[in-house]
Structure 1
Amino acid sequence: MERSSNAISRRPMPGLCRHSCYLGLLIFLAGIVPLWGWCSREDSTAALSALRARVQALVEQLQQRARVGVLVSDVAGRRYFEHGAEQLLVPASVTKLFWSVAALAVLGDSAVIRTALYADALPRADGTLSGNLYLVGGGDALLTVQELEELAAQLVRRGVRRITGAVLGDGTLFDGQRTRLQYSGDSDPVEPLPPITALGFNRNEVRVLVSATGRRVTAQTIPVSPGFVVDVSGVRIRKGARRGRQRVVLSARSVMRRGVQYIVVSGWIAARGTWSLGVPMEKPEVAAAATLVQRLRAAGIRVEGGFGEGKCPPGATLLGLWERPLAELLAAVNKESDNFVAEHLFKLLGARAAGSGTHAERARRLLQALLSRWGIPCQGCALWDGSGLSRRNRVSAADVVGMLRAVFQLPIADALCRSLSIAGVDGTLKQRLQQTQAQARVWAKTGTLRNASALAGYVLTADGDPLVFAILSFGVVSRAKALEDSLVATLARFSFCGAGTQSR
């Protein structure tokens, strides 16, 4: 029997999720899914009615104590289900989808984020580098000590043995707003983040290890660097503390003195053991330069001018380069919902955007222009930060689905999908939707704040058809995750032939 002419049209997933979404597509291509093309008009109509009834029942449970916006559509825009789809709600970390899409659209899916070494001149034949060495940050939030060591090794391979000037950290790619609260529109830190800087490393945090042996208290930093000095004179040893009871109370404060971060630790510890304390870097640019100096010296390069902060001059000579694929940052942002990396991505977009104002303002204008180009009015939308921690962020389920539908038609669709969590497989969805038909067939971004929950992305139905969905809720959301999962699992079971739409 031929499929009814007025049945909902669908488009296969050409190219989308070719890599990270391969499990669902293999099922589809292997022919394990039902042959929807043979379904009658009556079957299709009844199946869609059953789907809507099931989803409506789940939404009614969710909205008992929360405001809810839900939209499910096919990639052509035909709406399968909607409830409060136009109302503006707090998207939490679903905010990250907007900035990820903007980064892919502006920078390209093959973009790399560069951290570079420049010098005032080429090294001489005797290995002397006259003048300063500049460590220039490109917004890489994942830069590590090991990668600074690789930059030092690149200089060794170039034959550099002596630097007559200083090593200067350059983080001028980003503007002076270094904390999320400076641009997020709210005053609730939610999750304290280290400084957001174009040049930094070790997630802009130094780890202080405080040890006690008998009556002696010592400390060291990880990483080891001349940019940090630890004062433990305010730490006391409490005698008689037993294992199983609280044995340590430590706090730290920092102050910059002549380019060095002095970390003053106070509190008490037990007589034996080592304790770890994370401390935000006050000046990550200086700390990165100082740590590079330590690695250069360890590699046999003499640095005569110390370390500090400074802008790389025009025309400087490139001597070393570390490149990180944008895809690696996006995976951290979307699979792991990394707020620190997300804020760096937000600032990076602002730095790349044209116009005046702060980088946050420029990033918002850039995003609005992209959404307008794709026909998404996003009226009343407010996206204040990159991570979604701001409670002043507002979007609708229709806005989210509209953006995801637009991306589906673009070459960047694969790259976005590869960055998303796969249900029951990885990221923030690893422990969700396991042993359901949705496992390995849902690629989505989660969102969680106090009183807010969200889930948005793509799902393959039992017929192998891609659907786009967004679920936003605000209020008492203690049951939201379970209901989100039930709703998405229902979509994954859906078939126009009628099988699989019942609750299980």
Structure 2
Amino acid sequence: MGREPRHSRIHPVLRHLAELLVLVMLAAAVVSYRFDLGERWFGWGPVDPATEPAAVLPPEGLRLPASRVAQRVAVAGEHVDVDPAAVSAAVAPLLQRRVLGPHYAVLVTDLGTGEEVYRAGARSVVPASTTKLLTSVAALESLGGTSRFTTSTRWQPQAGRLVLVGGGDPLLASGPSEDAGTYPRRADLRTLAKRSAQALRAEGVRRVRLGYDDSLFTGPAVNPTWEPGYLDDITSPISALWVDHAEDPDGFGFVADPAADAARVFAAALRQAGVQVRGPVARTPAPVDATTTDPPPTLASVRSATVGEIVERLLAVSDNQAADVLAHHVGLAESGQGSFEGGAAGVLGVVQRLGVPVDGDRLFDGSGLSRDNRLSPDTLAGVLRLVEEQDRPELRQVLTGLPVSGFTGSLALRFDEGPPAARGRVRAKTGTLTGVHGLAGVADDPSGGRMAFVVVADRVRPEKELEARDRVDRIAAALGACRCGVGSPS
């Protein structure tokens, strides 16, 4: 065999260089794809739909059919009328022996029609925490269930001051939750500190003075109609800026100044993030101008859970502080007054606007801690029917947030007495103060009868407290277990 012509042979070095070049090109392609280098350096690659949604083109040749109305997943069942005689037979025997004391109210209505099917007792009561039903409805209607509250920092470069600004987030935490199952997810000050530190470093800032602004809410931080002992272990002063529900770090009661405590926690988080905090931390008005300074007035921020999620939680666990914070927000939205007075007026005004009569009702807070509050059972029943209406899905989270008898929230450890058939068939908001025991909710009985009910006793003698609470539960359980639908077998 003859040898290859000299000019057709490739030098071994050149051959290895060519192979190496191919490998380098393949590696570069993989790295560029993995880390989006082409898009970062040269603007190649797909448009980011989060920042430029209008620039995202549909796939070539895409043809979408005309939209059609989606079919119903399930057809609503026919309404079953509630039999007043059956309700009376279930409830009336439980009102004997005066266990509920000399002053109580019981009202049962047909949830579908709103018609009264049973009534006994007073026309107005101290509602205690059943007040939170009104606060929750007003918050969803006035603020919107998808709204969020923003806690932010604003930078004053001339003074070298960073200002922590409270946005009225009732669930703001000191740090991220270690429990992945926490619901709803909380915004936290540690994350805000890291974001603020990163923005400051980008401007070459390593040291700051720190101030805090809690001026979103006005008026007294403590409701003047509350019992003096409430601040010991029931609730805290209400503020637009706090952390961890203003609980005392020592584990006993609440801090006296929630905003100052939140600023202290934030200062520690800033230091941990690498920013020195000089001088005392003081209450400071935040800059509000919209000038295009560099950096802008708002340096960093974190956003709360949605109003709807907050509503679900506050109803499930009867969160007094979250309820009063939401009421303050309603006051701001309705009249510009983020205070106890503005919040109470705003809540009643929104409920009335939604078609529920509130004549004679009085509110002094959003939590129901005030013993000066007075509500008609008709108001509570009207709100319950409102959140059940199919054409008001924006209020539905009031219903989904209600504790379930024997299973969830503040009713998880109740309903252990009475008919077992009632467990899981009653959703209700508790209402408890010393001498006051109540439930307001909905019952779905086995026959298809659907009822709104209100049971509140507000002058219970001290020695009857536990018995009265049990009797309230038994009345609700009787409704959940009865076959009160018209035509149903007994």
TM-score in terms of structure 1 length:
0.69
| 2:118 maps to 1:78 | no
Deviation at 1:103, TM superposition (A): 0.9
- Name the structure with the higher strand share: 1
Residue number in structure 1 paired with 2:173: 144
- Residue of structure 2 aligned with 1:494, choices 461, 482, 486: 482
- Give the aligned residue type for 1:144: A
Q: Secondary structure at the match of 2:374?
A: coil
Residue number in structure 1 paired with 2:299: 319
Matches within 5 A, 1:79-228: 79-84=116-121, 87-120=123-156, 131-146=160-175, 147-158=188-199, 160=201, 162-181=205-224, 184=225, 187-190=227-230, 192=232, 193-208=235-250
CA RMSD of aligned residues (A): 2.9
Deviation at 1:441, TM superposition (A): 2.2
| 2:405 maps to 1:423 | yes
Residue number in structure 2 paired with 1:300: 274
Q: Secondary structure at the match of 2:451?
A: strand
Matches within 5 A, 1:233-244: none
Q: Secondary structure at the match of 2:212?
A: strand
Residue number in structure 2 paired with 1:126: none
Residue number in structure 1 paired with 2:96: 60
Cα deviation 1:400-420 (Å, max 9, x = unaligned) = 101221232222332111221
Deviation at 1:139, TM superposition (A): 1.4
- Give the aligned residue type for 2:315: N
| 2:469 maps to 1:481 | yes
How far apart, in 2, do the equivalents of 1:130 and 1:188 lie? 41
Residue number in structure 1 paired with 2:396: 414
Question: Which structure: larger Rg?
Answer: 2
How far apart, in 1, do the equivalents of 2:414 and 2:489 lie? 20
How far apart, in 2, do the equivalents of 1:89 and 1:467 lie? 20
- Give the aligned residue type for 2:166: G
Moved more, 49-58 or 474-483: 474-483
- Residue of structure 2 aligned with 1:452, choices 423, 436, 458: 436
Residue number in structure 2 paired with 1:251: none
Cα deviation 1:92-138 (Å, max 9, x = unaligned) = 111111111111111111121221122236xxxxxxx9732121111
- Name the structure with the higher helix share: 2
- Residue of structure 2 aligned with 1:432, choices 414, 432, 435: 414
Greater RCO, CA 8 A, separation 6+: 1
Q: Secondary structure at the match of 1:412?
A: helix
How far apart, in 1, do the equivalents of 2:362 and 2:458 lie? 16
Residue number in structure 2 paired with 1:471: 455
Residue number in structure 2 paired with 1:339: 320
Deviation at 1:355, TM superposition (A): 5.4
Instruction: Tell me if the contact between 2:199 and 2:300 (Cα under 8 Å) persists in the aligned partners.
Output: no
Matches within 5 A, 1:248-327: 278=252, 280-304=254-278, 306-314=280-288, 315=290, 317-325=297-305, 326-327=307-308
How far apart, in 1, do the equivalents of 2:237 and 2:396 lie? 31
Cα deviation 1:325-359 (Å, max 9, x = unaligned) = 22343234211112232222222322333156x72
How far apart, in 2, do the equivalents of 1:432 and 1:302 lie? 51
How far apart, in 1, do the equivalents of 2:100 and 2:129 lie? 23
How far apart, in 2, do the equivalents of 1:404 and 1:282 lie? 36
Matches within 5 A, 1:5-24: none
How far apart, in 2, do the equivalents of 1:458 and 1:200 lie? 34
Instruction: Tell me if the contact between 1:376 and 1:403 (Cα under 8 Å) persists in the aligned partners.
Output: yes
Instruction: Tell me if the contact between 1:94 and 1:446 (Cα under 8 Å) persists in the aligned partners.
Output: yes
Q: Secondary structure at the match of 2:439?
A: strand
Deviation at 1:428, TM superposition (A): 0.9
How far apart, in 1, do the equivalents of 2:166 and 2:486 lie? 55
Instruction: Tell me if the contact between 2:154 and 2:287 (Cα under 8 Å) persists in the aligned partners.
Output: no
How far apart, in 2, do the equivalents of 1:172 and 1:283 lie? 13
Moved more, 158-167 or 379-388: 158-167
Instruction: Tell me if the contact between 1:152 and 1:292 (Cα under 8 Å) persists in the aligned partners.
Output: yes
Deviation at 1:199, TM superposition (A): 0.7
- Give the aligned residue type for 1:336: V
How far apart, in 2, do the equivalents of 1:419 and 1:432 lie? 17
Structure 2: tracts of 5 or more residues without a match: 1-73, 176-187, 291-295
Q: Secondary structure at the match of 2:363?
A: coil
How far apart, in 1, do the equivalents of 2:448 and 2:487 lie? 14
Change (3 A) 1:165 1:390: same
| 2:310 maps to 1:329 | yes
Residue number in structure 2 paired with 1:405: 385
Residue number in structure 2 paired with 1:382: 362
Instruction: Tell me if the contact between 1:59 and 1:68 (Cα under 8 Å) persists in the aligned partners.
Output: no
How far apart, in 2, do the equivalents of 1:36 and 1:309 lie? 59
Change (3 A) 1:36 1:497: farther
Change (3 A) 1:384 1:500: farther
Instruction: Tell me if the contact between 1:178 and 1:196 (Cα under 8 Å) persists in the aligned partners.
Output: yes
Q: Secondary structure at the match of 2:164?
A: strand
Deviation at 1:56, TM superposition (A): 1.4
Q: Secondary structure at the match of 2:108?
A: strand
Instruction: Tell me if the contact between 2:239 and 2:258 (Cα under 8 Å) persists in the aligned partners.
Output: yes
Instruction: Tell me if the contact between 2:405 and 2:415 (Cα under 8 Å) persists in the aligned partners.
Output: yes
Structure 1: tracts of 5 or more residues without a match: 1-28, 122-128, 209-276
| 2:350 maps to 1:366 | no
Instruction: Tell me if the contact between 1:293 and 1:306 (Cα under 8 Å) persists in the aligned partners.
Output: no
Change (3 A) 1:423 1:295: same
- Give the aligned residue type for 2:346: L
- Give the aligned residue type for 1:117: T
Deviation at 1:30, TM superposition (A): 12
How far apart, in 1, do the equivalents of 2:131 and 2:161 lie? 41
Q: Secondary structure at the match of 1:475?
A: coil
Instruction: Tell me if the contact between 1:132 and 1:164 (Cα under 8 Å) persists in the aligned partners.
Output: no
How far apart, in 2, do the equivalents of 1:64 and 1:93 lie? 18
Q: Secondary structure at the match of 1:365?
A: helix
Change (3 A) 1:500 1:60: farther
